[in-house]
């Protein structure tokens, strides 16, 4: 994707992997809102990008004209392999009504506030241990040494995979995240070791069920029958894909912000009760996740001639910066009281892991600033941002101040 | 005044019960529900309005109670 020619005009040729978009997409989106609220591209086989809160909101809620069969933009138009409707490869995120509600209802109880809040001590201990490994260093990498490790470790624990498998598990996460937009034939080959490991874990859990997410999915019933193993496997992959670089990006962006906004850092250190409100502003201002849809049938939308299977890139982060929807939208206001941000999406596909993401963000930030009440960017030019649909800092060197 | 959540609109964004646990709770799916009869007092009305102003789905309604 990065071999694509540089974009000259994002209104007619947008590309979410263009270096300018990756480095700083916000001015691009502001420009689009003013002159072309639904931008077009011929790249990736053709697609559209609504840049306003109203446009994103309308399309996110419209499951009649837009399908979720594929939510990650690939290198071309989707193929039949991408489209096993209505279940999709990773239910419920790739499912449409009516199957969507059934698949979603199965997983929501496991991600409701009750069971998620119970994970807080485990997450706190994990963060504390990660910080211990960084102790004594003047410059730490908040991306590669800290944020990156938190979500996979939490999810490994939730799935009930052995703790000693963590390195292997991190490697699988890498394979899945890197391969997500590879063609289906390549992905099948790349996924082989992942599938083998997951199937072994599933079988092991079938022999000796326990209180974890894998056993939960194996016990779940649809119409009085256990889920198809492909459904269990697909949902496990979804939990990995959706729950890792997303939250890791959100934690990293928040630390990046605090590293060059000392007044906000000081407020969080001195006013711990402000954290939940601050988390919502981090989520609004640095929303990491952009999701895709496909146009279901030829139609006109806001004067745009959309064709069946055109991509729609749903810019939740762009919606969050729309001045029509937010007062002082381009300002980070750490105690913003009214904040209807859409970082977790809108409508029936609201991020099922939002309670977990918020908990991980809160605990990760609380532990980080407790250990390091003062820090700054060690080298702002060395900070790199992930390309594509999940945005967050990957390399994030932080200098610890006394 | 009385507060209610429209269950057809609520998607479990989780903002209401985080902001105003005195007024809202969550069900087993994580969707918002109103505690008790939803009648608001002069002490809780502002909190209910704040929760309403933070719901991305616009699922919280504050109405005159009959």
Q: Is the dihedral of CA A120, A121, A123, A124 positive or negative?
A: positive
How many angstroms away from the CA of A37 is the closest CA of chain B?
Answer: 21
Q: Which residue of A has its CA nearest to B26?
A: A113
B43 in contact with chain A, both atoms CB, cutoff 8 A: no
Please report residues of A whose CB lies closer than 8 A to that of B13.
Answer: 344, 350, 354
CB A13: neighbour CB atoms within 10 A?
Answer: 17
Question: B3 pLDDT exceeds 90?
Answer: yes
A276 in contact with chain B, both atoms CB, cutoff 8 A: yes
With tokens 């977790």, the residue in question is: A344
pLDDT of residue A1: 45
Instruction: Express each pLDDT in A136-157 by its tens digit.
Output: 999 999 999 999 999 999 999 9
B11 in contact with chain A, both atoms CB, cutoff 8 A: yes
- Per DSSP, the residues of A294-356 read EE-SSEEETTEEE-TT-EEEE-HHHHTT-TTTSTTTTS--TT-S-----TT-SGGG--TTHHH
A355 in contact with chain B, both atoms CB, cutoff 8 A: yes
CATH superfamily of A10-400: Cytochrome P450 (1.10.630.10)
How many angstroms away from the CA of A348 is the closest CA of chain B?
Answer: 6
Chain-centroid distance of CA B55 in Å reads 9
- Per DSSP, the residues of A30-99 read HHHHHH-SEEEESGGGSEEEE-SHHHHHHHHH-TTTEE-S--S--SSS--GGG--TTT-SSTTTT--TTH
Q: Please report, for chain A, the start and end positions of each structural domain, with discontinuous segments joined by +.
A: 10-400
ipTM for the whole complex? 0.97
Q: What is the mean pLDDT for each group of 10 consecutive residues in chain A (402 residues)? A: 83 96 97 97 96 98 94 80 61 89 93 96 97 97 96 94 88 78 79 90 96 94 87 86 92 98 98 98 98 96 96 98 98 98 98 98 98 98 93 97 92
Q: Are B13 and A358 within 8 A, CB to CB?
A: no
Q: Which residue of B has its CA nearest to A61?
A: B57
The pair of structure tokens assigned to A328 is 């002082």
B9 in contact with chain A, both atoms CB, cutoff 8 A: no
pLDDT of residue A87: 58
Please report residues of B whose CB lies closer than 8 A to that of A344.
Answer: 13, 56
Q: Are A276 and B18 within 8 A, CB to CB?
A: yes
Q: What are phi and psi of B4, to 5 degrees?
A: -145, 155
Q: Please report, for chain B, the start and end positions of each structural domain, with discontinuous segments joined by +.
A: 2-63
> Alpha-carbon distance A69 to A262, whole Å?
43
Average pLDDT over chain B, rounded to an integer? 97
Q: Are A354 and B14 within 8 A, CB to CB?
A: yes
Region B2-63: CATH code: 3.30.70.20
CB pairs under 8 A between A and B: 54
Top residue of B7, B8, B9, B13 to mutate, by most chain A CBs within 10 Å, is B13
How many angstroms away from the CA of B44 is the closest CA of chain A?
Answer: 16
Please report residues of B whose CB lies closer than 8 A to that of A337.
Answer: 50, 53
A112 in contact with chain B, both atoms CB, cutoff 8 A: yes
Please report residues of B whose CB lies closer than 8 A to that of A355.
Answer: 14, 30
B30 in contact with chain A, both atoms CB, cutoff 8 A: yes
CB A367: neighbour CB atoms within 10 A?
Answer: 21
Q: Which residue of B has its CA nearest to A348?
A: B11
């Amino acid at each position: 994707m990065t071999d694509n020619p540089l974009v000259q005009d994002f209104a007619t040729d947008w590309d979410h992997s263009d270096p300018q978009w990756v480095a700083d997409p916000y001015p691009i989106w502001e420009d689009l809102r003013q002159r072309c609220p639904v931008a077009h591209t011929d790249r990736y086989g053709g697609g559209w990008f609504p840049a306003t809160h109203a446009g994103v909101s309308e399309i996110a809620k419209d499951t009649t004209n837009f399908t979720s069969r594929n939510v990650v933009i690939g290198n071309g138009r989707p193929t039949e392999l991408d489209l096993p409707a209505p279940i999709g490869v990773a239910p419920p995120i790739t499912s449409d009504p009516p199957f969507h509600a059934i698949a979603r209802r199965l997983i929501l109880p496991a991600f409701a506030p009750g069971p998620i809040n119970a994970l807080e001590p485990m997450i706190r201990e994990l963060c504390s241990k990660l910080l211990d490994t960084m102790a004594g260093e003047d410059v730490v990498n908040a991306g590669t040494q800290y944020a990156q490790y938190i979500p996979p470790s939490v999810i490994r624990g939730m799935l009930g995979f052995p703790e000693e498998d963590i390195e292997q598990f991190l490697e699988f996460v890498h394979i899945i995240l890197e391969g997500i937009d590879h063609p289906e034939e390549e992905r099948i080959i790349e996924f082989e070791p992942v599938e083998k490991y997951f199937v072994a874990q599933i079988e092991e859990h079938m022999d000796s069920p326990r209180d974890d997410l894998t056993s939960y999915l194996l016990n779940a019933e649809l119409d009085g029958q256990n889920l198809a193993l492909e459904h269990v496997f697909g949902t496990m992959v979804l939990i990995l894909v959706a729950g890792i670089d997303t939250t890791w990006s959100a934690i990293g962006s928040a630390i990046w912000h605090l590293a060059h906004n000392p007044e906000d850092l000081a407020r969080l250190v001195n006013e711990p009760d402000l954290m939940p409100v601050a988390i919502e502003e981090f989520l609004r201002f640095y929303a990491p996740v952009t999701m895709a849809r496909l146009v279901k049938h030829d139609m006109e939308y806001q004067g745009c001639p959309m064709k069946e299977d055109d991509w729609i890139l749903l810019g939740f982060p762009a919606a969050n910066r729309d001045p029509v929807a937010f007062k002082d939208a381009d300002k980070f206001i750490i105690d913003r009281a009214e904040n209807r941000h859409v970082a977790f999406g809108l409508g029936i596909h609201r991020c099922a892991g939002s309670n977990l993401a918020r908990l991980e963000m809160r605990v990760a930030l609380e532990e980080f600033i407790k250990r390091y009440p003062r820090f700054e960017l060690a080298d702002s030019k060395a900070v790199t941002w992930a390309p594509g649909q999940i945005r967050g800092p990957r390399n994030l060197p932080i200098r610890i101040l006394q | 005044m009385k507060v209610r959540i429209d269950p057809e609109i609520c998607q479990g964004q989780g903002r209401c019960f985080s902001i105003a646990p005195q007024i809202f709770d969550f069900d087993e799916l994580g969707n918002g529900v109103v505690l008790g009869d939803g009648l608001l007092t002069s002490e809780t009305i502002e909190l209910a309005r704040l929760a309403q102003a933070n719901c991305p789905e616009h699922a919280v309604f504050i109405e005159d109670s009959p």
